[in-house]
Chain A
Amino acid sequence: MGVSAMLATLFAPLAGSIAILFINRDQTKAIRLTALIIAVLTFGGSLLLLPGFDTSTAAMQYGIDVSWIPALDAGFRLGIDGTSLLLILLTTFIMPIAILTSFGSVNKHEKAYYSLLLLLQFGMTGVFMALDTFLFYVFWELILIPMYFVIGIWGGKDRIYAAVKFFLYTLFGSLLMLVAIIWLGFQAGGADLGIGFTTDLAKLRLIGPNIDADLQLWLFLAFALSFMIKVPVFPLHTWLPDAHVQAPTAGSVILAGVLLKMGTYGLIRFNLELFPQSSAALAGPICILAVIGIVYGALVAMVQTDIKKLVAYSSVSHLGFVVLGIFSLTVEGVQGAVIQMVNHGLSTGMLFLCVGVLYERRHTREIADYGGITRAMPRFSVLFAIAMFASVGLPGLNGFVGEYLTLLGAFRSPFLNSWAYAVVSASGVIFAACYLLWMFQRVMYGTNDNPENHHLRDLTKSEYWQLVPLAVLIIWIGVSAQPFMKYSESAVRAVVSKVEQIKFSRTTTATLPSAEARR
């Protein structure tokens, strides 16, 4: 059942995307409903991945392998482990909400819009399932097109600039990745394994660690650059605020909720698994960028006057924690990073929905245009507060679990070997409280002085049901993270122990005894 659930999760959105093309474009109701039903069914289908999933193994599950381009040994190879499972569920969970939120806000070219959203879901799910570099690349690039149009057609005033910036930034990175994929394929052919050129990830994982250190470093960098643009890691982040501000609410929700996670997922799946030596060697510099991003994103978020931009910069800060956790190369850190990916998707997705709620009513995102909104919208204020505190990292809500574990990982990491990373990053926790509480205070508290805000309507039923499921998960993960984290535990342990083995069996100098002493 697992394999069919996986295939259904992947292909149902594609089928839906095509099906919508056959609906008359005037029948907007039918178009919307089709999209929503497909997305909800896909979420239901993806839940079927859970019962058969074996949490005790790090091996890929539900694997399928269909030959595609024999000359390249490229195959339609899919499979999931705990890490990808959580991200797939995140995707299928976010999409119905993103579609639902579009009902009110998107009212031109709806046929194309919903078709593109489902195509986008197909691509994202594919990225998390692909076990073949060529296939991965296809899915990776596939996403670019629908997202480009979603921003460029349904976006705000400067949508074209934002869409092009998004497109070029990402394309620049992915071209480097393509070169690395081809090079890696040839390396497999050159290695004495009796195989030729290949894009099979399983085979590449065998030869990856044996690639000559210098070359491995270049390949690592090519992949890493592509992923780090997507995350985005400082200083490659400037596309993000523009893209978020211009994108429609659903676009922002998907962007923050899922798309950015493709970058951090890629770092684990490719950089850590294929190039353990380089991962260990470059952990320090990458973590420095992550730490800068955490503090920088928070400080810049603090001085924004546009709510959406504020949330966008907060993403730079929050994703910094994810990258820090990954390159702490400890089980705690990487596990924290994985759960933080899910958490950020939920809480930041919810924040963007909340900004959307305000924007729908007032058509402005300037903080100064609001104030005292709580009086007019009490229900909204509760849900907005939950999203905000999740983002602040309050214990008992989800954000804390991820931040805490990534910091703990960085603190204990034998690869980073310094407390400084965690200490500086932890200051981001203070700044997060500053910018979010300050924003909340200016928007929601005080008196409602602006006459235009006097009669704002509280949440509609639809908005309410977009936000409540997110709030439930935010609290659930916050008070009981274990049922979620158990899925990725084995996979993460395997990755980390691979890096640890290689690092500490080769270098017998300074780092080894201290790492031992820490145990």
Chain B
Amino acid sequence: MNYAALIPLFPLVGFAIIGLFGRRLGSEKVIGSIASLAVLASFVTAVAVFMGLTSMPADARSFTVPVYTWIATGSFSVDIAYQFDQLSILFTLIITGIGFLIHVYSTGYMHGDRSFPRFFAYLNLFVFMMLNLVLASNFLLTFLGWEGVGLASYLLIGFWYDRKFEGSGIVWTGDAAKKAFIVNRIGDFGVLLAMFMLFNAFGTLEYATINAQAGVVLGGQETLVTMITLLLFLGCTGKSAQIPLGVWLPDAMAGPTPVSALIHAATMVTSGIFLIARTNVLFAMSPTTMAVVTGIGITTALIAGTVGLVQNDIKKVLAYSTVSQLGFMFTALGVGAFTAGVFHVMTHAFFKALLFLGSGSVIHGMHEEQDIQKMGGLKKYMPITYKTFLVGTLAISGIPLFSGFFSKDEILWFAWLNGSPILWAVGALAAFCTAFYMWRLTALTFLGKERFDHHHVHPHESPKSMTIPLIILAVLSAVGGLLGIPHVLGHPLHLPNLLEEWLAPIFANGVALLPKHTGDHTALEFTLMAVSVGIGAFGIWLAHSLYKDGTEKARALGARFSAVYKLLWRKYGVDEVYDVLIVSPIVVFSRSFLWKMVDVVLIDGIVNGSARFVASTGNVIRRIQTGVAQHYALIMMVGIIALIAIVTVPMLK
């Protein structure tokens, strides 16, 4: 199946064609088609590869296609090579499938933009890099994709480079782009160091070798494993916007909305989950790291969820929601429920892409308005957008039978089983926030009174190119959860957990290292499920009663708890703290001490000082050279007399 290597190639070709020829290719239709077809071609190929894999025996579903040698020197050698197995093909299907829908959507959304070709070139570049990330057979190629999606993200956040954007310490969209790249770089620093350690230990960066030999090579070296995995996890907190590096994602909303859907919700931000899933054996070897992953994940889920409660920008609510949901995924990974984490990646990709694209449709129909306080009653004007958005909201809130119900519930269950009741409780609280802020968003946008200015704003439904992807995603959000029906529900009905079976070989070695929790917990599991559904429903009810008539009631509440409200509104002041504690000191130190003191005063002082010393010494000594012959003659005479004296005086004795 060497043709599998074509999967990343198609979007690369699309990028090259559109990037090099741009507008010369012709109309928007041509450009949009090239870009969309490139991704569609990848998707179709991926489906074929997937079919091929299913026809193989379960434990042999893996093959690698080497393309060429990238770097080789000394004992170091890395190929451009792609690995196809259960995990990488799953991510590939998500990336190319949802990627294709978002490409189609974008042809409508970006219609008339002066940089239409540039947008699609970047989008294809992103898909190419993302596919490298997940299909790589070694760490370094993943790292190329890892930083490559960062580049695409940078280019797309700053796509409207001359627009202003309101954010913490941010004026331009370009500031947000730069912030995203730099914060991610801090995470990448960790990945870089982890790769050095891994190469030192294994002599290779191939996943297959490292995963197979991890037990032998690193067995008994828990400190080293912990260091490696924590450094990898630092990279994950960057890419997947977790504490302490999550600050960039809300500002990344400066990019066009399809970008937020594809990169900052469905695919790129789940790279961290992918990396841990890919190296689950290493992570499972370090209980310390697993605990850290759990702790960071659940804390992020709650903190971001609370911030999402008070935001008024439609995209920012979704951004904090994404951070919070990613926190759930890490919680799952941290407690060893790898499949549940990946499952939530998939369902989240469906419903969060749907929600973002829906918000894009709203923004489009509202003439670039993003403040939900100035919306309301849009249900009437945008029926398709409303209905699909509603499906997304119900899915993310964990309403039974929608996809989010299955994946979130599985995470919460394992949080209790493998973790602790407290972990479950915090997760349930975050889930409550989810249901609340999502219904608040839906209610303020689509229900209640119309709060916009009818003279200037004429809401309208979006074109078909945008609504059809919405409908497809809504269907996926509704039924996608059936791929991972939990045993407690599936068993009595004889329905298998397809996803778990599919991914089992990937996680077998990792899971084997973790403690087992056996026994019959059916009753407990049902109880917790009922409680969490109840919590979700309560969140929706509460939000509905507060916001169905606009923001007045909530504003009164906010005034009563103004301290809490302000804290949440300011996002706990994390950006400000970073600025005061880290950014400003480094800049001041570099400018006032390193440059103005060390370079200019100290080093150049010595250099110029010694030059001045030579010059001034010369200045004194040159006076001897008067150029007057009599002076020279005189000095010569003195010299001769002195010489004669020196020679003759001793002789006289």
Contacts and interface: CB of A to CB of B under 8 A. Distances in A.
Contacts of A419: 196
Contacts of B73: 331-332, 335-336, 405, 485, 489, 492
Nearest to A411: B196
A296 B594 contact: yes
Interface string B145-158: 01110010010001
Given A300-B594, A331-B74, A433-B181, A165 B607 contact: yes
Interface stretch (A88-96, A122-130, A357-365, A444-452): A444-452
Nearest to B227: A419
B579 to A, nearest CB: 14
Q: Interface SS of chain A: helix, strand, loop or mixed? A: helix
A300 B161 contact: no
B175 interface: yes
B589 interface: yes
Interface stretch (A220-228, A420-428, A456-464): A420-428
Contacts of B559: none
Contacts of B70: 479-482
A19 B607 CA distance: 39
Contact of A235 (B161, B193, B589, B603): B603
Contacts of A426: 189, 192-193
Interface string B573-596: 000000000000011011100110
Interface in A299-320: 299-300, 302-304
B604 interface: yes
Contact of A482 (B71, B171, B173): B71
B181 A300 contact: no
Contact of B172 (A299, A407, A422, A446): A446
Interface stretch (A263-271, A275-283, A394-402): A394-402
B599 interface: yes
B570 to A, nearest CB: 25
Give the interface residue-count category, chain A.
35 or more
A395 to B, nearest CB: 4
Interface string A316-353: 00000000000000111001100000000000000000
A238 interface: yes
Given A437-B181, A444-B161, A445-B172, A299 B586 contact: yes
B185 A430 contact: yes
B192 A429 contact: yes
B174 A445 contact: yes
B76 interface: yes
Interface in A206-246: 235, 238-239, 241
Interface in B68-89: 68-76, 80
Given A165-B607, A422-B193, A441-B172, A430 B182 contact: yes
B193 A485 contact: no
Contact of A427 (B72, B143, B189): B189
B611 A168 contact: yes
Given A374-B161, A394-B151, A446-B162, A300 B196 contact: no
Nearest to B72: A482
Contacts of B603: 235, 238
Interface in B168-184: 171-175, 177-178, 181-182
A429 B185 contact: yes
B162 A448 contact: yes
A412 interface: yes
A494 interface: no
A512 B611 CA distance: 47
Give the interface residue-count category, chain B.
35 or more
B151 A389 contact: yes
B452 to A, nearest CB: 28
B472 interface: no
Contact of B595 (A168, A303, A336, A427): A303
A434 interface: yes
A300 B599 contact: yes
Nearest to A381: B161
Interface string B199-224: 11000000000000000000000000
B196 A408 contact: yes
Contacts of A396: 144, 147-148
Nearest to B151: A394
B193 A423 contact: yes
Contact of B189 (A332, A429, A440, A485): A429
A441 B74 contact: no
Nearest to B200: A412
B292 interface: no
Contact of B178 (A302, A401, A437): A437
Interface in A475-519: 479-482, 485, 489, 492-493, 518-519
B186 interface: yes
B99 to A, nearest CB: 20
Given A372-B162, A395-B144, A422 B590 contact: no
A169 interface: yes
A317 to B, nearest CB: 12
Contacts of B71: 401, 404-405, 481-482, 485
A480 B196 CA distance: 21
A375 interface: yes
Contacts of B74: 330-332, 335, 493
Interface in B583-627: 586-587, 589-591, 594-595, 598-599, 603-604, 607, 611
A165 B70 CA distance: 42
B69 A482 contact: yes
Interface string B436-473: 00000000000000000000000000000000000000
Contacts of A372: 161-162
B199 A299 contact: no
Contacts of A429: 185, 188-189, 192
A438 interface: yes
Contacts of B594: 296, 299-300
B355 to A, nearest CB: 29
Q: Which of B590, B604, B611 has the most CB of A within 10 A?
A: B590
A374 B154 CA distance: 15
A434 B76 CA distance: 29
Nearest to A403: B192
A160 B182 CA distance: 39
A244 B195 CA distance: 36
A11 B196 CA distance: 44
Contacts of B174: 441, 444-446
A433 B599 CA distance: 22
Q: Which of A165, A239, A394, A479 has the most CB of B within 10 A?
A: A394
B174 to A, nearest CB: 3
Nearest to A435: B590
B628 to A, nearest CB: 31
A407 to B, nearest CB: 7
A264 B546 CA distance: 69
B192 A407 contact: yes
Nearest to A335: B73
A408 B76 contact: yes
Nearest to A518: B200
A277 B376 CA distance: 78
Contacts of A480: 68, 70
A332 B74 CA distance: 6
B337 to A, nearest CB: 32
A332 B161 CA distance: 40
27 contacts: A169-B607, A235-B598, A299-B590, A299-B594, A303-B587, A331-B75, A332-B75, A332-B76, A335-B74, A336-B73, A395-B143, A396-B147, A404-B71, A412-B196, A422-B193, A422-B196, A429-B192, A430-B182, A430-B189, A444-B161, A444-B174, A445-B158, A479-B70, A482-B68, A485-B71, A489-B73, A493-B74
Given A165-B607, A405-B71, A479-B70, 15 more contacts: A299-B589, A299-B594, A303-B587, A303-B590, A331-B73, A395-B140, A395-B148, A408-B196, A412-B196, A419-B196, A434-B182, A437-B178, A441-B174, A445-B162, A482-B69
The 9 A-B pairs at the shortest CB distance, nearest first, are namely A331-B74, A445-B174, A303-B591, A299-B590, A395-B144, A335-B73, A445-B161, A411-B196, A433-B185
